[in-house]
Structure 1
Amino acid sequence: MMRVAAIDCGTNSVRLLIADISQESDELTDVERRMEIVRLGQDVDRTGRLAPEALERTFTAMRGYAKLITGHAGPDGSMPVRVVATSATRDAANRDDFVAGVREIFGVDPEVVTGDEEARLSFTGATRGLARRGPAADDTPYLVVDIGGGSTEFVVGSSSVSTSVEGALSVDIGCVRLTERHLTDDPPEAAAVQATIADIEAAMDRVEAAVPVRDARTLVGLAGSVTTVAGIALGLPAYDAAKIHHSRIPAERVHEVSARLLAMTHDERAAIPVMHPGRVDVIGAGALILDRIVRRYGFAEVVVSEHDILDGIAWSLV
């Protein structure tokens, strides 16, 4: 058994997983799993830079995570730590400020991974436990879709390890990026929704040229936009990760929830029981990305995973 700490810093959130991993049983057991909405990618699409206030929000959350890591470390005070940063920091001209802050807090440099590596880590994290769910859940190849704040990763693979990946691509469509670009009214105008759809479809054209998405038999959806859509579709009275993890949401429910969210005001979305306050203004774009993927590739349902790139980072440490 090995205890590790994984930190995923995305465009919208920064997350921590401290886990015990057994290679013998191929199991990962949570010790701590935390998430803070910090909106690191605030205005990056427009300015090309990380905003000072966004950096400070992120570093504040990370300082709290560093204390948790110290508290859960072994007798010698050590624990393998890996910090991965994704879309927002790839795009930012001042990412050296981010790197210096992370180094000071955790004592390691963040890895600003490529979109391809991000996709492979997400694939491993999402699918590692699927085979144990039985034959119905092991209907391969998988198409794993990780809808983030700044980008969405598409990965096709036939088993739960990254070496089985048959194709992967990261494209610059994410819930924060598309909201800031198009969905600025509350609720958005029809023309803005159509412009968002056009961006999503253009990105999927690029995906289809590079990744064998139409070979996939199971769609696995990751990250906060997908899990929030699932919670709404399931009618949960509060966010419940255990009920959402490996739930199967029919295509019709995905379409209904997406249309409903895009027609709501900010206050109406905020009143949804499963809605995290940090997702209220960007969930419409995230739901629309999922909706267009389901429509384009004709999936009857989406298998929802609470395990994603964060779990893939943890597995990479062993």
Structure 2
Amino acid sequence: MRVAAFDCGTNSLRLLIADVDEQGRMTELRRETRIVRLGQGVDATGEFAPEALERTFAVAREFAEVAAEFSPEKLRFIATSASRDVKNRDEFFAGIFNILGVVPDVITGDEEAHLSFLGATAGHGLDSGPFIVMDLGGGSTELVLGTRDVTSAVSMDIGSVRLTERHMSADVPDQGQIQAAIADIDGHLDKAAEAVDLAAPRTMIGVAGTVTTLTAGILDLASYQRDRIHGTHLRVEDIDGQADKLLSMTRDARAALPYMHPGRVDVIAAGGLLFARIAARMDAAVKAAGAELDIMVSETDILDGTALDLARRQS
């Protein structure tokens, strides 16, 4: 079955067109990502900015033309954190419907967890569970625990865009801004630990653009290379070092990194700090339980999970 999956988050709009066979094996035909920053200012204003909507609609029109070339049998457009929080989301719904002929599904935290887990664990042949999938987005970050299926999950109202807008307005954040962001992150992690056992997993799978971009930096890639990044295993100290490096760089220096997407330049430092704090907290919890945590990076995520789930649906 041929499917088209669209994932609209706080920072990016993505498209995956794939064929999925009866055994659930997926063959990717086209994958596209554009940074639209739909969640621009949402944390402060509670609504989508007109320019953010127009950026998103422009990319949706581009993606509609791409999808039409492949004639998918099914299409689904999911929307996550930013779209849950706004007062004017009907304007967003109407715009997407006019372009694609489908109403966006603003998925619940539980469904986001299920789709992220499905996509992140698909095709890896993992056998060292339990796993925890960390889906680090622009507006929210999910921690999803499970082995074959999800056993528990939590969605934290922090991400690269929200943390940047709340705490890191300066080109190079000072220690006061960094400490404020750390306090925000750690407070959310304290609450998350009440819902998900952070000592339970043996493998942590990090997904989404912040994680993969930091990995490109750790690998010192000359360009963004998806195949090199996918399946990489990371050490906590390398994540922490890369996060510190990004926090100390100017915007121009971050923009000059050969693997950096222009749309991530403004928010990658806050996102890197969030990744580092989560990795360190998880690693400490697992070590305290007498085990070791393997940190792995996946280029498959909620978008892939959406495509696989869509192919399985009966109608």
The two structures have a TM-score, normalised by structure 2, of 0.94
Residue identity opposite 2:261 in structure 1: H
Q: Could you list the runs of 5+ residues in structure 1 that have no partner in the other structure?
A: 132-136
Superposed displacement of residue 233, structure 1: 0.3
Q: Counterpart in 2 of 1:310?
A: 303
RMSD across aligned C-alpha pairs, in angstroms?
1.0
2:215 matches 1:197: no
Residue identity opposite 2:111 in structure 1: E
Q: Counterpart in 1 of 2:74?
A: 80
Q: Counterpart in 1 of 2:66?
A: 68
Query: Does structure 2 retain, via aligned residues, the 8 Å contact 1:251–1:300?
Result: no
Q: Counterpart in 1 of 2:288?
A: none
Q: What is the count of residue pairs matched by the alignment?
A: 303
Query: Does structure 2 retain, via aligned residues, the 8 Å contact 1:247–1:304?
Result: yes
Q: Counterpart in 1 of 2:130?
A: 141
Query: Does structure 2 retain, via aligned residues, the 8 Å contact 1:251–1:301?
Result: no
Superposed displacement of residue 302, structure 1: 2.1
User: Of the candidates 32, 40, 52, which is equivalent to residue 34 of structure 1?
Assistant: 32
Q: Could you list the runs of 5+ residues in structure 2 that have no partner in the other structure?
A: 284-291
Q: Counterpart in 1 of 2:109?
A: 115
1:155-193: CA deviation from partner (whole Å, max 9, x where unpaired): 00102xxxx111011111100000000011111010110
User: Of the candidates 181, 205, 212, which is equivalent to residue 227 of structure 1?
Assistant: 212
Query: Does structure 1 retain, via aligned residues, the 8 Å contact 2:202–2:293?
Result: no
1:238-264: CA deviation from partner (whole Å, max 9, x where unpaired): 000011011111111101100100011
SS of corresponding position for 1:212: coil
User: Of the candidates 120, 132, 151, which is equivalent to residue 126 of structure 1?
Assistant: 120
Query: Does structure 2 retain, via aligned residues, the 8 Å contact 1:233–1:253?
Result: yes
Superposed displacement of residue 274, structure 1: 0.8
2:223 matches 1:238: yes
Superposed displacement of residue 213, structure 1: 2.3
Q: Supply the distance in 2 between the matched residues of 1:208 and 1:29 (Cα, whole angstroms).
A: 37
Residue identity opposite 2:75 in structure 1: V
Structure 2 counterparts to residues 203-282 of structure 1, below 5 A: 203-282=188-267
Q: Supply the distance in 1 between the matched residues of 2:227 and 2:21 (Cα, whole angstroms).
A: 21
Query: Does structure 2 retain, via aligned residues, the 8 Å contact 1:250–1:300?
Result: no
The two structures have a TM-score, normalised by structure 1, of 0.93
User: Of the candidates 71, 81, 85, which is equivalent to residue 91 of structure 1?
Assistant: 85
User: Of the candidates 287, 308, 313, which is equivalent to residue 272 of structure 2?
Assistant: 287
Superposed displacement of residue 237, structure 1: 0.5
Superposed displacement of residue 301, structure 1: 4.6
Q: Counterpart in 2 of 1:104?
A: 98
1:49-96: CA deviation from partner (whole Å, max 9, x where unpaired): 0001100000000011111111111xxxx5200000001110110000
Q: Percent identity?
A: 51
Query: Does structure 1 retain, via aligned residues, the 8 Å contact 2:135–2:143?
Result: yes
2:25 matches 1:22: no
Q: Counterpart in 1 of 2:5?
A: 6
Query: Does structure 2 retain, via aligned residues, the 8 Å contact 1:166–1:212?
Result: no
